[in-house]
Structure 1
Amino acid sequence: MFRSPKPIFSASTIAIVGASERARWPQTIWQNLKANGYAGKVYPINPRRDEVYGVPCYHDFGSLPEPADLALVIVPAAAVQGVIEDGARHGLKAATVYAGHLGEGTDPEIVGRGAALKALCEEAGIALAGPNCMGGIAFREKLFAYPNGGICKPSPGSVAAVFQSGGTLQFWVQTAQSRGLRFSYAMSSGNEIGLDLADYINFFVDDPETRIIVLFIEGIRRPEIFKAACTRALAASKPIIAIKTGRTQRAREAALSHTGAIGGDWQAFEALCERYGIVSCPSLDDMTETALAFSQGRLPEGGGIGFVTTSGGTVDLLYDYAEAEGVSMPDFQPETVARMRPLLPKEMTPKNPLDSGIPAGNDLLAELCAVALDDPATDILAVAGQISTGRADIAAGAPMGALVDRTTKPVIGFGRMRYHLGEDGIAYQDAIGIPYLQGLPETLRALAGLVFYGARAGRTIAPLPAPAGTPENLEGDAFADLLAANGVTLPNSVLAEDGAAAAEAAAAIGFPVVLKVVAPAFSHKTEVGGVLLGLSSADEVCAGAATLAGRIAAADANAEITGFLVQEMVSGVEMIVGARDDALYGPVILVGTGGIMVELMGDAAMRLLPVDEDDVRAMIAELKGRELLAGFRGAPAADTDALVAAVVGLGRVYLDHRHLLADLEVNPLIVRQRGAGVAAVDVRPVRRSD
C-alpha cells in the first residue's frame, strides 16, 4: 500500500548526476550539502567531465568508489531513463528526478516516457521522487537536495511540508522560517510517478520528530491510499494543514498540464477534509498562520475563544470577522467580569472581546489574560500584540511566558496587520512560548482550524461496509417501501397510462394535484416543461396530459412516454438531497436548497458517506436556506428532524446499493411543517448501467 521515502531522506551516499559548473541547480545542491554539514559522501557524475567543483567527477555509476544510495538526477528528460537503468545495475536505492516532460499533460511521448520510468523504478525497487520537481530536504540529516540556498537552514523542527509545486515550496518555507517555524522535512513531490502524497504522509506519521504535516495539493493520485494515510495521521493526532488548487475549471486544467494531477470536484475535496480532519486553507498566508497556531502543540477542548485586546478598533474588527468566519466568542461568566473590573480603567467594560485600554506593563496584561483563561467558556486565549521589529525584550515577556506555563489551553498572540519579524522577534516568540499570528482574518481562520481539528484529533475512521443491496430493491413498490423505511417518504401518487386514467387517479387523490410526464429520455422533467402544478379538476388533468405529451414530442419526436404520474400537492420548504460516487473521493451526500433554483443558488453542503444525525445538522447549519427551515418571515417552522432522518436514510440506501446506482437524487424533497414529515416529490435513481 505505502512506499517508503526513507531512502530519499536518509541516504549516506549521494550521486549528483549532471554535475557541472555551468549548470546552476547541481552546483547549488552541491554547495548546500557541503556548506550545511551533510555527513555522507557526495559524488558528482558527468560523462563529459573528469573534475568538477574541485573534486574528481565520475562518468557513470559503475565508476563510483561505492554504490550510491540516492541519485539526484538533473539531466534532460530524454536522458533520465538511461541514467536510472545504469543506477539500477549498480545497486541504486532511490532517485530524485528533477526534469519535467515525464508524465505530465496529455502529449503521448511525454506520458509514455513517464510510464516507462515508473515501470523501471518499480521493477528495480528504486524509490522515486518526482519527476518535474525541485528535490527535497531532510533537516535533521542536513540533506539539502534543493537548488535554493535560502531555505537550507540547518535548525530542524517539527513541521513536514510536501508541495506538488516546487517553486511554491521554497517561497512558502522561507516565509514560514522567517516567522519562526522549523522543519523536519520539505519535499517537492512533482509528478509523483513514484512516491506520492500518501507515501510521504504515512512516513511523517511514523516519524517521532514530525508533529505537523503541511500539503500543497494539485491532485491526489491514489485517493483510497491517501485516505488511509490521513486516517493514520488523524488517529496519531498529527494535524494535516493543506491548500488545494482547483476551485475553478481553469485551475484544474492547469494542474493536469503542470503535474498530470487530476484535481477533482472541489466540494467533494472539502467533504474529504471534514471527514479526515484536514485543515483546509484558502491561501498560502493562511497556511503559515495556521501552522504557527498548531506549533504550540496544544488543542482546545471546545470552540470558545476569549480575546484580550488593547484597542476598541480591534474589537470592532473582531466582531465583523468572527461572524464571517464562524468563530465563537462567548460572553465571559459573571465571576470573570467581577474579577476583571478592578484591573481595568473605569471606562472599560469587561466583555469578550475585551478592550483593556493600554495596560501598564505586561504584568497587568498577563493578570487580565489569566482571568480570561480561567473562564470555563474560554477554550483558546487570543491576545492582541505585536512583537517588536527591533530588539525584542525577552525579559519583559516573562509574565506572558508564565501565563502559558500555568495552563494547558492554547494561548495565541495576534496582530492586526502583517509585519517583518526579525531573528530577535523569533527568539522572543520561542522564549515565551506564544506564537504570534499576523492579520485578523488569517488569525481567526487559524483559530477556527484549531477548533476544527481539536474536535477530531484521535478519531478513528472505519472502512466503508460492502454494499449488500439487491437489484430487486430498486424496483417499483419495493423501492418506495425501502425509501419510506429510511425516512424518505413519497407523496400520495398514482402512475397512470393516459390522460383519462390520470384524471380518475387525481379525483381519488383529491384536488389540487401535480401531473408529471414519465419519459425515460428526460430525467429532469422541468427542463422540457414536463410538470404541471395545481391542477384542480379532472378536465384540467386530462388536458394537461395532452399538453405534456405535446411538449415531449416537440423536444424529441422519438421519445417514449411510459405514463403520467399524478401526485398530491405538497407544500413546504423545497430541499435537494443527493448521493453519488465521486470518482476520486468515494461516496458522498449533498443537501441543499432545492427545486428549480438549485443550480443557480448553489446553496449546498456535502459530506463523505456515511453520515449520522450530527453530520447532517452541521450540513444544514452551513446553508443559507437554513432560515427557511426555521420559519422565515412568519412562516411555520419546518420539520428539520424529519429532514435529518431522510438525509441519513438516503445515504444509507445509497451506500447499500452503490454497486448498482451511480446517483440517487431527490429534488425537491418537500419539508413540511414541524411534525408533518417530508415528501420526496421527485426521486431520480441513476443505475450504473444507464
Structure 2
Amino acid sequence: MEARLNAASHFAQPWSPSPEAGDIVKGIHAMLHPRNIVLVGATDKPGNYAERIWNNLIKYKFEGGLYPVNARRETVWGVPCYPDFASLPEKPDHVLVLVPARFAVQVIRDAAAAGARSATIVTSGFSESQDAESQRLATELREAIRETGLAVTGPNCLGNLSAGEKIFTNIDDRIVTMEQGPVAIAGQSGAIVMAIRQALEDRGVGVGYMVTTGNEAGLETPDLMAYFAADPSIRVIVVYLEGVRNTRTFREACKAARAAGKPVIALKLGASEGGRAAAMAHTGALAGSIETFDAISAREGVIRVRGLDELIETTECFVHADPPKGNRLAAVTLSGGKRGLLIDAFHAAGLNFAPLGLGASAKLANMLGPGSIVGNPLDAGFAAVVDPSVYMQSIQVMIDDPDTDIVIIDAELPKAPHELRERNLHIVNDKAARANKPVIYISTMSIGFTDFTKTLRQSLPHIVVMQGLDRAVGAIKALIDYASLRKEVPDAVSSSTAAARATLERTLKDAKGAALDEVASKKLLKAYGIPVSKEAIAQTATDAVKIARKIGFPVVAKVVSPDILHKSDIGGVALNLNSPAEVRKAFSAITARVKRLKGKPKLEGILIAQQVKADLELVVGASLDAEMGPVVLFGTGGVDIELIKDVALAGAPLDADEARQLIGRTKAGVKIKGYRGRPALHEASAVKALVGLSNLIADAGDRIASIDVNPFLINAKTGVAVDGLIVLNNAAARHAAKH
C-alpha cells in the first residue's frame, strides 16, 4: 500500500510510453509533458483568456519555453512576442490556439508543419453552434487534425493541468496545489471538470492530470482514459461524459483501465430526456439511453455516479482503499442512534453487517462495559456500541478480525488541533497500512474541511474519510462490486455460425420495407438458434384449417403484415382455436379488420401457429442504441411489459454465462429458478435465445434497429418464441426500398 500512495515520487523519474504504445498515447504524453508552450493569439487586452493562461504558467513556474505569438505585437506581458512559428527560438511543441474560430484551422496546419506535437484549441464557435458557418469550420478542423496527426484537445475547452510538469493552461485563477496526485480527470465540460478538481483538492485528494476536451474534434475522453490507464502514477480515473461518439474506443479504454486495476468513475449526462437534449445543444454529442450506458459500461468496470457530491465521495473511497476480498462489514460507533442509521443505510443498499469472528466477539465481550452491544440481535452482525474508554481497542479488534472485510468507523476529522483524536487517527492509519482491508471513517453528515483538517487528512493516506452516509454507502457498494468484476473483460465476439450469417445477409438483401414481417423475422431468429413455434402462413380459410390440423389443436391465428407492428392492438390475434370452425371464423374476422384499417396496410396472409402452454411469459429483445451500440434485453413479457418494467439490459454479444447473469438480474429470473415451491422452468432455452439474439444484433452492425420477441413462452420442458418483430435501421430500410 505504501508504494501506491507515493505517487509524487514517481516524477523523480518521469514515465514515458513504451515504444509499442499507439500514436494517440504518445501524442497525449507530448501534450501533458511538452518541451515548450506557444500561445497563438497573445494579446495585452486586460483579462482575456490568453493573459489568464499566461499568468498561470508563470505563477506555477513551468520550466519549459513559453512563447507568445501575434503578428501585430512586438511585445506582450513584458516579453518578446513572435510574429509566427518560424520566428520562435525553437520549434513549437504544444500550441494553445486562442485566435478566432475562422483562423484556428490554419493555425493547426501551420503548427504541425513547424514541428508541434500537440495543441489545445480554447477558441469556441464550432460544432457547439448550429449555424452553417460554424458547422463548416468544425468539419474543416476535424479534417486538419486528421491529416496532420496532431494530438488536439478542444475546441471550446478551458485547458489542462499536468501537475508533475507544473503546467496549468487554464483560465481558473483559484489556487492549485501543483503536486502530482493519484487522480486524473477528463471531460467535455471545462466548468464541471474544474469544479471536480477543486472539490477533490479541498478534500485533500491530489489531482495529477486534468484535461478539458470540449467539442472533441480531435482527442476524445476515451483517448485520455486509455492514456491514464497506462500511466503508473494514476490510481483513479474520473470522467465527465456528455456523449460517447465511438463505442469501440470507449469500451477498449474501459478494458485497459480494468486490466490495470484502475476504476473509471463517470458522471454521465443523459439520465433524462432533458439531459440528453442538453448534451446535444452543448457539444453536439449524440447521448443515448442511460440504462444502456450502464448495461455496457458496468461490464467494463465503470462506476457511474449520479452527481458531483457522489463523485467526490466515490473518488475518495477508491483513492485510499483497495477493493476488499468480500462484503463482510463491521462498524464501530459510540452512538446507539447512529448504529441504527448505519444498519438501515447499508441494508437499503443490499449490504449487511456480517457476524464477527468468534475471537473478535469474545475479545469485545470481555472489554466492553455495561450497556454496550456486540452484534445486532436481529441479524447477529453489527460491530459494537462501545464505552469510550475501550474505543480504540474495539477498532483494532475489528481490523484484526479475519472474518471482516471492511471496517467502518463512525467519526469525522477534527476541525482544530485535538491531541487525543489526532493520536488515535494516526494509530488507526498505521494499523490500516498493515491490514489487508479498507478502513473507512464515515461522517453521517457533510462536515466542512478547515485548512487544519485538510493538512491532517493528507497525513492519513491509508484510511478513507467520507462524508454523508448515503453517498458513503453508495461508494462502498461500488468498491465491493468493483472487486467482484473479472480482471479482464473478454472481447465481445459473435459466436454465430456461417449459415446463420448467410441467412441474415439474404434476409436483409430481400427486405422491402421498414420492418420484417413475423414470418421473415422468425425465420431469421430460428437461423440464430432461437426456438420458434410450429407455424405456417395461410392465404385462405381452407389453407388455415389444413395447417391447423397438421400442427394439432389448439392453434393461434395472427395477421402477417409489415405495416402492422403491434398485432394485438388492432385485433389481429386470435387464441385458443380448438376446431376447424373456430379457425375459419378467426381467419375471416382478422382479414376483415385489416381491410377496414386506415392506410390500407398490406396483408400477406394469416399465420396459423402452435399454441404453446406457458408457465411464464418473457420478453427477449435487442436494439441498436444510438450512442452505445448493440444491446440485449430480458425480462417479464406480455402486454403489460411497459407497466411492469421488470427488465435488464446487457451489451451484445453475450456468452452463456453472461446471459445467465442477465436473467438473474430480473424477477423473471427468480421465477425461472422455481419460486415458492414451484418447479424450475427451462432456463437453458432462455439462455440460448439471449445468446442467439445478441449474436444477431451484433452481426447486423447498423442495419437492424431493434428485435422484439414478446412473448417468449417458457415452461418446465422448453421455451419458444411465439412472436417476433425485426425493425430495420432507417438507413437500411431506405437502402432496401431502393433495391
Q: Are positions 1:539 and 2:581 aligned together?
A: yes
Alignment CA distance shift 1:411-1:641 (3 Å): farther
1:75 to 70, 80, 99: 99
2:375 to 350, 355, 368: 350
Question: Which deviates the most, 290-299 or 611-620?
Answer: 611-620
Structure-1 residue corresponding to 2:472 = 443
How high is the sequence identity, in percent, across the aligned residues? 31
Normalised by the size of structure 1, how large is the TM-score? 0.91
* Preserved contact between residue 332 and residue 386 of structure 2 (Cα < 8 Å): no
Supply the distance in 2 between the matched residues of 1:341 and 1:639 (Cα, whole angstroms).
50
Query: Post-superposition shift, 1:286?
Result: 1.3
* Preserved contact between residue 545 and residue 583 of structure 2 (Cα < 8 Å): yes
Structure-1 residue corresponding to 2:613 = 570
Question: Which deviates the most, 105-114 or 498-507?
Answer: 498-507
Supply the distance in 2 between the matched residues of 1:653 and 1:131 (Cα, whole angstroms).
39
Q: Give a deviation string over 1:31-90, Cα, whole Å, max 9, x none.
A: 211121211122223344333323233333333333321222223323323433443453
Q: Are positions 1:425 and 2:453 aligned together?
A: yes
* Preserved contact between residue 8 and residue 129 of structure 1 (Cα < 8 Å): no
For residues 182-581 of structure 1, the aligned pairs below 5 Å read 182-347=206-371, 348-351=373-376, 352-360=381-389, 362-371=391-400, 373-375=401-403, 378-391=404-417, 393=419, 394-432=422-460, 433-456=462-485, 458-465=487-494, 468=498, 469-472=500-503, 488-506=530-548, 511-555=553-597, 556-581=599-624
Letter of the 2:463 partner, please give it. I
Alignment CA distance shift 1:482-1:220 (3 Å): closer
Paired residue secondary structure (1:442)? helix
Structure-2 residue corresponding to 1:677 = 718
Structure-1 residue corresponding to 2:34 = 11
* Preserved contact between residue 321 and residue 463 of structure 2 (Cα < 8 Å): no
Query: Post-superposition shift, 1:629?
Result: 4.4
Letter of the 1:177 partner, please give it. E
Question: Which deviates the most, 188-197 or 518-527?
Answer: 518-527
Structure 1: gaps of 5 or more residues: none
Supply the distance in 2 between the matched residues of 1:502 and 1:315 (Cα, whole angstroms).
69
Question: Which deviates the most, 246-255 or 623-632?
Answer: 623-632
Q: Give a deviation string over 1:267-306, Cα, whole Å, max 9, x none.
A: 2211221221111111111111111111125122233333
* Preserved contact between residue 517 and residue 565 of structure 1 (Cα < 8 Å): no
Question: Which deviates the most, 186-195 or 226-235?
Answer: 226-235
* Preserved contact between residue 534 and residue 569 of structure 1 (Cα < 8 Å): no
Supply the distance in 2 between the matched residues of 1:578 and 1:151 (Cα, whole angstroms).
52
Query: Post-superposition shift, 1:483?
Result: 6.0
Paired residue secondary structure (2:51)? helix
Paired residue secondary structure (2:136)? helix
Q: Give a deviation string over 1:503-532, Cα, whole Å, max 9, x none.
A: 454456555543212223223212322112
Normalised by the size of structure 2, how large is the TM-score? 0.85
Query: Post-superposition shift, 1:677?
Result: 2.6
Letter of the 2:307 partner, please give it. S
Paired residue secondary structure (1:128)? strand
Supply the distance in 1 between the matched residues of 2:608 and 2:340 (Cα, whole angstroms).
56
Letter of the 2:722 partner, please give it. V
Query: Post-superposition shift, 1:653?
Result: 5.2
Supply the distance in 2 between the matched residues of 1:590 and 1:321 (Cα, whole angstroms).
30
Query: Post-superposition shift, 1:186?
Result: 0.3
Q: CA RMSD in A?
A: 3.0
Question: Which deviates the most, 407-416 or 454-463?
Answer: 454-463
Alignment CA distance shift 1:385-1:123 (3 Å): same
Query: Post-superposition shift, 1:176?
Result: 0.9
Supply the distance in 2 between the matched residues of 1:323 and 1:495 (Cα, whole angstroms).
54
Supply the distance in 2 between the matched residues of 1:263 and 1:654 (Cα, whole angstroms).
20
Question: Which deviates the most, 573-582 or 275-284?
Answer: 573-582
Question: Which deviates the most, 610-619 or 546-555?
Answer: 610-619
Supply the distance in 2 between the matched residues of 1:626 and 1:290 (Cα, whole angstroms).
30
* Preserved contact between residue 362 and residue 396 of structure 1 (Cα < 8 Å): no
Alignment CA distance shift 1:527-1:32 (3 Å): same
Letter of the 1:560 partner, please give it. L
Structure-2 residue corresponding to 1:665 = 708
* Preserved contact between residue 60 and residue 86 of structure 1 (Cα < 8 Å): no
Q: Are positions 1:61 and 2:89 aligned together?
A: no
Query: Post-superposition shift, 1:482?
Result: 8.7
Structure-2 residue corresponding to 1:588 = 631
Paired residue secondary structure (1:570)? coil
Supply the distance in 1 between the matched residues of 2:580 and 2:330 (Cα, whole angstroms).
65
Paired residue secondary structure (1:679)? strand
Query: Post-superposition shift, 1:434?
Result: 0.6
* Preserved contact between residue 362 and residue 399 of structure 1 (Cα < 8 Å): no
Q: Give a deviation string over 1:214-250, Cα, whole Å, max 9, x none.
A: 1000112322122222222211112211111112232
Alignment CA distance shift 1:395-1:640 (3 Å): same
Letter of the 2:405 partner, please give it. D
* Preserved contact between residue 42 and residue 51 of structure 2 (Cα < 8 Å): no
* Preserved contact between residue 472 and residue 478 of structure 1 (Cα < 8 Å): no
Query: Post-superposition shift, 1:540?
Result: 2.9
For residues 17-56 of structure 1, the aligned pairs below 5 Å read 17-56=41-80
Letter of the 1:171 partner, please give it. A
Supply the distance in 2 between the matched residues of 1:561 and 1:15 (Cα, whole angstroms).
69
Question: Which deviates the most, 477-486 or 259-268?
Answer: 477-486
Supply the distance in 2 between the matched residues of 1:361 and 1:164 (Cα, whole angstroms).
50
Q: Give a deviation string over 1:434-453, Cα, whole Å, max 9, x none.
A: 12111112111111211222
Q: Are positions 1:608 and 2:651 aligned together?
A: yes
